[in-house]
Amino acid sequence: MPLDLANYAAETREAVSAFWLSRDDAKRKQLESGKADQGERAGVTGGKNMDRFASLIAEIVRRNGLSQAQILYDKAALTLPGYFRPTKSWDILVMHKGQLIAAIELKSQVGPSFGNNFNNRAEEAIGTAHCLQTALREGAFGRQPRPFIGWLMVVEDVEGSRAPVRDRSPHFPAFKEFNGASYLKRYDILCQRLMQEQLYTAAALIATPRQAVARGEYVSLSDLTSFKSFVTSLAGHVAVTAAQLDLS
């Protein structure tokens, strides 16, 4: 039976448009209230920027054999045990009959400051996955198949994220792939290596300009880290899990 990607191409454009619209609405509402955050933070603290991506992910789960799964968005229900820390709150959890099917992080970054934010996002992604993977190994989730672990990053496509970046490494050279690489390229490398090291089942990067609020334009930097690859991997995992549950 073929996988059902839920018209992901059109839905992704809608999600990208909604991402920018939500940021604009959050900033406008804060200005109207007289309690606006500084700079771009005002567009983040509204907390709804990635909701359409979450809805698309939920639809893919439902269409590929787990229509009765619990798809959790509520912050109070998103906590999983960790190994290096007691718990970690995820952005989406998929549960079915007490089994963890998927845990997914939905992240974003816009300019103008890409440097420190890239490093923070990278450290967070690596630490989050390593903590969960170790907790799985140590039996925190009981005896169950390995869940889908996903990381989606939406980054503003702008000169600051596309420009070459120089680094200083005075004692040992950095890996050549990073030499002069833009922040978008660094995110692409990060996503590839998160999967290569099996920290995440799928890691995807979406680059989108602010003007995409109108039509949802976006690009991928590589096939491996495209959102199409992400949703295909998720759909495949769900379909296999559903088949296994039917057989059990």
Domain residues for 226? 8-247
CB 181 within 8 A of CB 112: no
In a domain, 149, yes or no: yes
Confidence at residue 27, expressed as pLDDT on a 0 to 100 scale: 63
Task: State which amino acid sits at residue 138.
Answer: E
Q: Where are the alpha helices (DSSP H) in the chain?
A: 8-33, 51-63, 115-137, 159-162, 183-196, 227-247
- Biggest CA-to-CA distance, the chain: 58
In a domain, 180, yes or no: yes
In a domain, 2, yes or no: no
Beta carbons within 10 angstroms of residue 105's beta carbon: 22
Residues contacting 90, CB < 8 A, separation 6+: 78, 79, 80, 103, 104, 105
What do you get for the CA distance between the two ends of the chain, in Å?
A: 19
- Cα 221 from chain centroid? 15
Confidence at residue 23, expressed as pLDDT on a 0 to 100 scale: 87
Confidence at residue 222, expressed as pLDDT on a 0 to 100 scale: 97
Confidence at residue 39, expressed as pLDDT on a 0 to 100 scale: 47
Total domains present in the chain? 1
In a domain, 97, yes or no: yes
In a domain, 3, yes or no: no
- pLDDT per residue over 54-95, tens digit each? 999 999 999 999 999 999 988 889 999 999 999 999 999 999
Confidence at residue 161, expressed as pLDDT on a 0 to 100 scale: 95
Residues contacting 96, CB < 8 A, separation 6+: 66, 68, 69, 70, 241, 245
Confidence at residue 44, expressed as pLDDT on a 0 to 100 scale: 40
Give 235's DSSP letter. Answer: H
Residues of the chain with pLDDT under 70: 1, 26-47, 247-248
- pLDDT per residue over 203-213, tens digit each? 999 999 999 99
